[in-house]
Amino acid sequence: MNPIVRHKKSSIPYEYRGENVFVNLITGKEGFVDDEKAREVFAINVEATQIFHEFPLVKQLISSLKMKLDVVVSSEKQKDGGVIGM
C-alpha cells in the first residue's frame, strides 16, 4: 500500500512510490522530490491512503474528476492542528 500525500498549498493528491518518487494523481506525472523539499510541500493523508487501499477505483475517480484533498478540522482535534481528510 503506497501512502497518499497532499500538496500543502494546492491540496492536489500524490501517491508516494518510494525512493522519493511522487505521482500526481490528477495528471499522472511523476517525479523525484528530495527529502527536505518533500517535508516542506507534502502532508501524509492516512485516511486517503486507507480509502485508496480499500477502494482502488477511487484513484481513477480522483483523476477523472480532478478532485483535490481537503483539510478537515475536527472539533476534538482542533487544538492539535486538526486532521487531514478527503
> Could you tell me what percent of the chain has a pLDDT over 90?
73
Per-residue pLDDT, 75: 53
Beta partners for residue 21, in sequence order: 18, 32
Nearest partner of 73 among 63, 58, 57, 85, judged by Cα = 85
Per-residue pLDDT, 69: 87
Distance CA 10, CA 30 (A): 16
Q: What is the pLDDT of residues 55-71, one digit of tens each?
A: 999 989 998 999 998 86
Q: What is the pLDDT of residues 4-29, one digit of tens each?
A: 999 999 999 999 999 999 999 999 99
The amino acid that residue 10 corresponds to is: S
